[in-house]
Amino acid sequence: MKIAIVKKSIITRICAICLTFLFASAVVFSADKATFANAVQRKIPVYKVDTPDKIVSLTFDAAWGADKTLAILDILDQYDIKATFFLVGFWVDNFNDMVKQIDARGHEIGTHSETHPHMPKLSQQQMKDELYISSQKITDITGKKTELFRPPFGDYNNTLVSVCEQMDIIPIQWDVDSLDWKGLSASQIHDRVAKKVTNGSIVLFHNNSDNIVEALPLVIQTLQLKKFSFAPVGKIVYKNNYFVDNNGVQHKKETQQGDIL
């Protein structure tokens, strides 16, 4: 009788251990499944564009200072290249004439927010205000709709991307960072950019970084030797019927028959 009780106790313990293991496994599986679902649902800006063409976009963020902007514009003119400038609202206030110059020389202008905040820290309404106020300032000068936005610090979340979608603005990041703001030499900037650019790349520069004027011609010359052409971001991104994969690459959607929409 005693032996039977002991056996029953052992069996009970084994069952309890098995049940505990199964429960823990279910919890882990559920957590993994939730994590996967969240990853799939994550909204991502455009970092680069999926294209067979050897084409690249040069972009310049402008928030503080404008001393080198005219020189940048002259270099772009020299090589007959059109670029995209992302402007902060208070920069537009301080450098109205420069905004007019950028537009007059045929370059594209997007917003870089109104006050250059960490956007994910804002409420949804504050995000909308940052985009609307800065975009309207640009439109008031150029007469053109602002269609692109670059998040300050490259900082974003699902809410911000959703706000952009609601406002018919495409959020733009970059896949090639020149790191010019770190005070790199012209040759260091050149080397970073030249080796990283691929079809559909979006390159990040800053309009007032230390060695941008010296580096820009070197970058352009090397990319031209590699047979790349240049266009503003708005000319290479898909404006509709697209999706952005988990790596930030924008793709054109296809029909079931395989045709591009």
Angle at 96 between CA 92 and CA 63, to 5 degrees: 30
pLDDT digits (tens, 9 = 90+) for 221-256: 999 999 999 999 999 999 999 999 999 999 999 854
Identify the CA nearest to 209 among candidates 42, 79, 62. 62
Answer yes or no: is pLDDT of 35 > 60.
Answer: no
Instruction: With beta carbons less than 8 A apart as the criterion, state whether 9 and 213 touch.
Output: no
Q: In whole angstroms, how far apart are CA 89 and each of 22, 66, 85, 92, 136? A: 56, 14, 12, 5, 9
Distance CA 139, CA 2 (A): 90
Distance CA 261, CA 259 (A): 6
Instruction: With beta carbons less than 8 A apart as the criterion, state whether 237 and 51 touch.
Output: no
Answer yes or no: is pLDDT of 26 > 80.
Answer: no
Helix (H, G, I), strand (E, B) or coil at 242: strand
In this prediction, residue 254 carries a pLDDT of: 80
Distance CA 235, CA 218 (A): 23
Identify the CA nearest to 131 among candidates 107, 110, 155. 110
Answer yes or no: is pLDDT of 108 > 70.
Answer: yes
Read off the pTM.
0.83
Residues designated catalytic: 61, 206
Answer yes or no: is pLDDT of 38 > 90.
Answer: no
Instruction: With beta carbons less than 8 A apart as the criterion, state whether 110 and 148 touch.
Output: yes
In this prediction, residue 36 carries a pLDDT of: 43
Q: Percent of the chain, pLDDT > 90?
A: 81
In this prediction, residue 23 carries a pLDDT of: 47
Task: Give the start-end residues of each E strand in the chain.
Answer: 48-49, 55-62, 84-87, 108-111, 148-149, 170-171, 176-177, 201-206, 229-230, 242-244, 249-252
Distance CA 43, CA 197 (A): 24
For residue 41, what pLDDT band results from cuts at 50, 70 and 90? confident
The H or E element spanning position 97 is: helix 96-104
